[in-house]
Structure 1
Amino acid sequence: MSKGRVSSKATVSTKATGHRNNFVLQGSLLAVAGILVRIIGMVYRIPLTAIISDEGNGYYTSAFSIYTLLLILSSYSMPTAISKLISQNLAKKQYRNTERVLRVSFLYSSLMGAVMASVLFFGADGIAELLKKPYAAFALRALAPTVWIMAYLGLLRGYFQGMGNMIPTAISQILEQIANAIVSVLMAYVLFAKGQQADLLYKNTEFSYAYGAMGGAIGTGAGAGLALLFMFLLYRYQRPALRRKAKRDEGLTESYERSAMLLLFTMLPILFSSTVYNISSVLDDFLYSSIMTSLGSKTKQIVMEWGIFGEYHVLFNIPVALANALSSSLIPALTMAVASHDRQKTLSQIRVSIRFTLLIAVPCSIGMAVLADPLSRMLFPGKNVHLLIQLTRVGSFAVLLYSLSTITNAILQGLGHLNLPLYHSMVALVLHLLSLVLFLYAGLGIYGVVLSNIVFALIMCFLNQRAIFRHTRFRIDLFRSLVMPMLSGLIMGGAAYVIYFVIYILLPEGLRKGRVGSAMSLLPAVFIAILIYFFLLLKSHTLTREDLDEMPMGGRLKRFL
C-alpha cells in the first residue's frame, strides 16, 4: 500500500472504533475456536499415537504433509481470496458481483478438487517411494477424497469470512475436529488390528502401522464431510437474502470472464505464497529421509524420528492457532480499510493484530521451553519421550517467529501486496533448505529440521516487517509489544518452573514421570503462570485500558481488575 492510496486526513470516529473492535472480536472468536480445535487435535492424538505408535505416526505425518500441500493447490488459498473479493464488493454494495465470484469459485473448486484428489489417489505409491516410506501410500489414498471435500469447504468459509462473519468458520472447525477425533481413533483401532493380521500373513511388521495411519486419515475425511454439510445448510439458509440484494443492485455487473480473472489474479499470489510457505514440510521430509539414509540410518529409525517430529508439531500448532485466526479476520477488515482510504483505521488494525499476536506468542514460546518435560510426558509418554522433550525445548522459539510471520503475511495480503509474501517465502525457503542440508551433514539429525524451520520463520519475519514499514511507515512498538512481554514472560517462566518443580518433588516417586503426575504438576503451574503474566503486564502498563477495550469482554475484565 503506497502513501498515495491511503488518506492521511482520516479521523478517529465511533464507527472506526466499532470496526476495529469487531475485527478483534471476530478474530478472537476464531482464535478461541482454533485453539479449541488444536486442543481436540492434541487430545485425540494421544490415543491415536498409543494405537499406531511412533512408527505409524511417522507414516501419518508424512502423508499429511503431502495432503496439506495438495490442499493448498485445491482450496487453502480459497478462503483468503474469496473473502478479499467479497469484502471489496460489499464495501461498494456490488451484490451481483458477489454472486458471480461465488459461481466462478464453485467451478474452480470442482475442477481443482477433482484433479488434486486424483493425483493423491493414483500417485500414492510413487509419492510414498519418493519419501522413502512406501507404506505411507495407504494413508495417502485414504486422504484423497478429503482434498475434494475441502475445496468446497474452503469456498463456503471464504464466503462467510468475506461477509465479516467468522462464527460459521469457527463452528465448522470445531465440528470437523470432533468428528475427526472420534472416527480417527475408532478406525485406527480397527485397521491396526487388521494390519496385525496382515503382518502375520506376509511375515512383516509394517502393515499394522500403515493400516493404523490409514485409519487416522479416514477420520480427517469424516470431519471435513460433517463441516461441509453444516456450512452448506447455513449457506442455503442465508442465500435468499443475498439474492434479494442482488436483484436490487443496479450497479455495473462484471462479466464471468472478468470475475474469473479477478479471482485468479487474487488467488495465484496467495496460492504460490502458501505453497512455498508450506512445501517446506514436504521437502524437509524428503531431504531428511534421503540424507539420513545416505548417512547410514535405518528406515525404521527415520520413520520413528519423523513421528516424534509430528508430535512436536502438534504442541507447536496450538499457540500458532491464534495468529492463523487473527490473520483470517484481518484480511477482509484491512481490505475494506484500504478500499475506503482510511489510513488511521489501517494503521490501527496493523498495530492491534501484531500487538495481540506478540502478547500471546511470547509467553507461549517461553512456557513451552520451560515446561517441555511435563507437557511432553503428559501428552505423549513413551520410550522416545526424551527426544520429544528436547525437540520441544529447541523448537519453542519457532512459536513466536511463526506467529509473527503468519500475521505479517496477512497484513501484506490485506494491504494489497499479494506478491510480497510469495517473494519472501521463496527467499526464506532457499535459505531454509540450505541450512537444513548443512545441519544434517553436521550430524544434528532431527534437531536440524527444527533449527532450519526457525531459520525460515526468522527470515520471513524480517522481510515482512521491512515491507510493511516501506509501504505504511508503521513500526512495531518494540518496548511495549516485545520487550515488556518478554521480561514478563521470563519472570512468568521462572515462577512456572518453580511451581512445577515443587509439586514434582512432593509427588510420590512412582507418580512423578507418568501421565497423571505430569498433569498434576503441569496444570497448576500453567494456571498460576497465566495470572502472573497478565498481572505483570498490567502493573507495568504494558496492557492498558485502551487495550482492554479492544479485547472481547474487555469491559467486564476491566471492571474485574
Structure 2
Amino acid sequence: MSETEAQTTKKRTKKDDYIVQGSILAAAAVLTKIIGVVYRIPLTNILGDEGNGFYGYAYQVYAIALMISSFSLPTAVSKLVSIRLAKRQRRNAFRAFICSLAFAIGVGLFISLTIFLGAGLISTHLMKSPLSVYALRVLAPGLLIVAVMAVIRGYFQGMGTMLPTAISQIIEQVFNAVISIVGASVLFGIGTKAGEKSGEELLGPAYGAAGSTLGTVVGSLSGLLFLLFVIFLYKNVIRKQLKRDRTQNVESYSFLLKALLLTAIPVVFSTAVYNINQIIDLTIFNHVMESQGYVEKEYMALQGIYTGKYDTLINVPMAIANALGTSLVPSLTAVVTAGTKKQVHSKINQTLRLTMVIAIPSCIGYFVLASPIMVLLYNDSSATPAHLLMAGAIVVVLYGLSSVTNSILHGLNYMTSPAKNAAAALGIHLVAFVLMMTVFKMNVYALVGGNIVFALAMSILNLLKIRKVSGFKIDFVSTFGKPFAAAAVMGIVTFGVFRLFDTLIGGRVIPVCISLIVAILVYAVVMLKIGTLSEDDILDLPMGGRILRISKKFHLLPAVKVEE
C-alpha cells in the first residue's frame, strides 16, 4: 500500500469509525441472536407452546420494566459522555457516569421490587394469565442488574468503543442459554409432579417457564461482572486521565442528573412504546380470544408460537439495525456539532442504505424459506408458524427502518421527536389491531398485522421529521430499490435451489443449509454488480480494503464508463 493510500485509509477510519464500531456491535448482536435461536430450539421442545406462552408473556412485562429502568440509559449516557469528551472534559464525563450509575441503582431497585411484589396482581388481573406469576418473579431481580450494566455500557460507548459491550453481550447470552435449558428442564419436571397432585395440568409449563427465565437473570449478572472487571483493569488509566484534566467548570451532580433525565426520558418513552405495544397486543389478544370461546390452553399455545418461534427469528436481523443505530448516535451528534449539512446528509444516507442492505434480503429469505426454516429449527411442519413468518417477514425491514431513524433523530438532537412519533404510531396501531381481532377475526395473525402497522407508521413519521429538520431527502432507488432487486434475484434462485436439493436429497438440514449459502453468495454478487454499495461504502466496512480488492479482482463492481 502506498503512503497516500495509507493516509487516506487512516483518515477514513477515523472519520467513519462509527461503522467499524457498529459492525463490532452488530456482529456481537447477531451472534447473540443466533445463540438465542439455537438454545430456543431445545427450550421450545422442553416448554411446549403453552410454556412458551407463559415465558413470552412474562418476558413482555419484564421488557416494559426494562425499558423504563435501563434501555434508554446506554444511549443517554453515551450522549452525555461523548459531548463532554469532545470538549476534553474528562472529569465531567466521569461525573456523568457516576451520576447515571447512582440513578440506575435507585430506579432499578425500585422497579425490581415493584415487579416482584406485584407479580401476582399483574399476572392475574392485567395479563389474564395467573400462572405467569412464577416466571415474572424470577425475572424481577434482573431489572436491577441490567440497569447497572446499561450505564457501564453507555460509558464505554460514549468513549467510542463498543468492544466491552459486544463481549459482555456474548458472555451474557452464553450463560443465559445454558442456565435457561437446565432451569427449564429441572423445574418443568418439578411443576409436572406438583400439577398432578393439585390437578393443574399447566403447572409444569408454568414452572418450566420460570426455570427458563432464571437464565436471563444469571446471564445478565455474568455480563455485569465482566464489565466491572474491565472497569477494574482500566481504573489506573481513568485515574490518570482525571488527574490530567484541567477543566475549570466542574458540573454538579444535580445538573448532570437533570441532563440525564432530559436525555433519557424521551428515549424511555419512544423505546418503551416499542415493547408496550407488544404487551398491549398480547393482553387484548387474550381477552378477545377468551370472549370468542377459546380456552387458556388454546390461546396460550398460539401466543407461544408467536413469541417463541416467529418473534425469535424476526429479532435476529433487526439486531444489526439496532447496533448501527447505537454507534451512530454519538458519531452523528459530533458531526451535527462541528460538521456541514452535506456531511450530516452523507452519514444519514449511508446508515439507511447499510441497514436496508441487511434487512431487505433477510425479509425475502424468511418469506421464501419460512416453512423449511421452521422445520429445521423447531421440527414444526404445521402451517401456522410458517405462515406467521411469511406474513411478518416485512417487519424486519419496517422495524429496522424505524429503529435506525429513531437513532438518527437522537443524533440530530431531536430527542423528543421519536417519542411523539411512537405515541402517534401506537394510536394508529391499536385501532388497526382491535379491528383485526374483532371485525376481521384474524386470530394470531392480527399480532403480526399490528407489528406491521406500528412499524410502518413509525418509519413514515420519522422520515418526515428527518426531512423537515435536516433537509435530508431519501434516495429510494439506492436505499430500497437496489437492495430489493438483488434480494429478489436471490429469492428466486434460493427457492429453486431448495426445491432441487429437497427433491434430490431431502431431509431437514442439507437442503436448507445449501440454500442459505447460495442465497448469501447470489445476493452479495448481484448487490455489488448493480452498484448497491459504492467503493467508499465498501472501504468504510471492517476489512473494507480487502473486500474492495477481491470485488475488483472478480469484476463484481459495475463497469466504469469512460468518456470519449
Q: 2:84 aligns with which of 75, 86, 89?
A: 89
8 Å CA contact 2:13, 2:540 repeated in 1? no
Alignment match of 1:148 (pick from 144, 153, 175): 144
- Match for 2:492: what amino acid? G
Report matched runs for 1:372-521 at 5 Å: 372-382=370-380, 385-441=382-438, 442-507=440-505, 512=506, 517-521=507-511
1:59 maps to what in 2?
54
**Equivalence for 2:534:** 544
Structure 2 unaligned residues grouped into runs of 5+: 1-7, 552-564
Q: Give the aligned residue type for 2:550.
A: F
Between 267-276 and 83-92, report the one with greater CA deviation: 267-276
The within-5 A match list for 1:82-121 is 82-121=77-116
Rounded Cα–Cα distance in structure 2 between residues aligned with 1:487 and 1:14: 31
Residue type of the alignment partner of 1:255: S
1:136-176 CA-partner distances (Å, limit 9, x unpaired): 00000000111110011001100000011001100000000
Deviation at 1:16, TM superposition (A): 6.5
Distance of 2:478 and 2:341 partners within structure 1: 22
Q: Within 5 A, what are the aligned runs for 1:245-324?
A: 245-251=241-247, 252-310=249-307, 311-324=309-322
Partner residue in 2 for 1:556: 546
Task: State the Cα deviation string for residues 465-490 of structure 1 (Å, max 9, x = none).
Answer: 11111111112221122111111111
| Residue 212 of structure 1: aligned partner | 208
How big is the shift at 1:232? 0.5
Q: Judge conservation of contact 2:374–2:380 (CA < 8 Å) in 1.
A: no
What does residue 562 of structure 2 align with? none
Q: Which runs of 5+ in 1 are unaligned?
A: 1-12
Structure 1 residues 15-30: aligned runs within 5 Å: 17-30=12-25
2-side partners of 1:376 and 1:163: how far apart? Answer: 41
User: CA separation of 1:382/1:484 partners in 2, compared to 1, >3 Å: closer, same or farther?
Assistant: closer
**Identity, % of aligned pairs?**
39
**2:512: which partner in 1?**
522
* Partner Cα distance (2:504, 2:369) in 1: 17
Deviation at 1:67, TM superposition (A): 0.4
Distance 1:447 1:345 in 2: 42
Distance change (3 Å), C-alpha of 1:14 and 1:254: farther
Distance 1:52 1:480 in 2: 44
Equivalenced residues, count: 540
- Residue 193 of structure 1 aligns with an amino acid whose one-letter code is G
The Cα shift of 1:15 comes to 7.6
Paired residue for 1:203? 199
Q: Deviations over 1:34-88 (max 9, x none)?
A: 0000000000000001111010000000000000100111111110000000000
In structure 2, the residue matched to 1:9 is none
Distance 1:170 1:73 in 2: 22
Which whole-Å CA distance do the structure 2 matches of 1:406 and 1:541 have between them?
25
Separation of aligned partners in 1, 2:290 and 2:306: 17
Structure 2 length-normalised TM: 0.94
Distance in 1, matches of 2:514 and 2:15, equals 35
Give the direction of change, closer, same or farther, for the CA distance of 1:546–1:14 in structure 2 (3 Å limit): closer
Instruction: Tell me, yes or no, if the aligned pair for 1:39 and 1:318 is still in contact at 8 Å.
Output: yes
Say if 2:222 is the partner of 1:226.
yes
Tell me what 2:5 maps to: none
1:73-130 deviation digits (Å, cap 9, x = unpaired): 1111110000000000000011111121112111111111111111111111111112
Q: 1:235 aligns with which of 231, 240, 259?
A: 231
Q: 1:14: how far off?
A: 7.7
Q: Report the 3-state secondary structure (helix = DSSP H, G, I; strand = E; otherwise coil) of the residue aligned with 1:164.
A: coil
| Counterpart residue identity of residue 113, structure 1 | G
Looking at structure 2, the residues matched to 183 and 21 of structure 1 have their Cα atoms a distance apart, in angstroms, of 39
Per the alignment, residue 556 of structure 2 pairs with: none
Separation in structure 2 between the aligned mates of residue 19 and residue 425 of structure 1, nearest angstrom: 34
The one-character-per-residue Cα deviations of 1:240-268 (angstroms, maximum 9, x if unpaired) are 32232222222211111111111111111
Say if 1:88 and 1:339, in contact at 8 Å, map to a contact too: no
Task: Name the counterpart of 2:367.
Answer: 369
- In structure 2, relative to structure 1, the CA distance for the partners of 1:371 and 1:273 (3 Å cut) is same
AA partner of residue 30 (structure 1): L
One-letter amino acid of the counterpart of residue 377, structure 1:
V
Residue of structure 2 aligned with 1:167, choices 163, 185, 192: 163
Residues 19/460 of structure 1: CA separation in 2 closer, same or farther (3 Å cut):
farther
Q: Residues 259, 392 of structure 1: CA spacing in aligned structure 2 closer, same or farther, 3 A cutoff?
A: same
Q: Is the 8 A contact 1:16 1:345 kept in 2?
A: no
Q: CA deviation at 1:19?
A: 3.5
Question: Whole-Å Cα distance in 1 between the matches of residues 133 and 113 of structure 2?
Answer: 14
- In the other structure, the counterpart of 2:121 is 126
Whether the 8 Å contact between 2:180 and 2:214 is mirrored in structure 1 is yes
TM-score (norm 1): 0.94
Measure the CA separation in 1 of the matches of 2:430 and 2:512: 36
The answer to whether the 8 A contact 2:111-2:143 is kept is: yes
The answer to whether the aligner puts 1:191 opposite 2:187 as a matched pair is: yes
Which residue of the partner structure matches residue 74 of structure 2?
A: 79
CA distance in 1, matches of 2:353, 2:380: 38
Letter matched to residue 40 of structure 1? I
1:44 aligned residue:
39
Distance in structure 2 (CA, Å) of the matches to 1:20 and 1:192: 53
1:199 CA drift (Å): 1.3
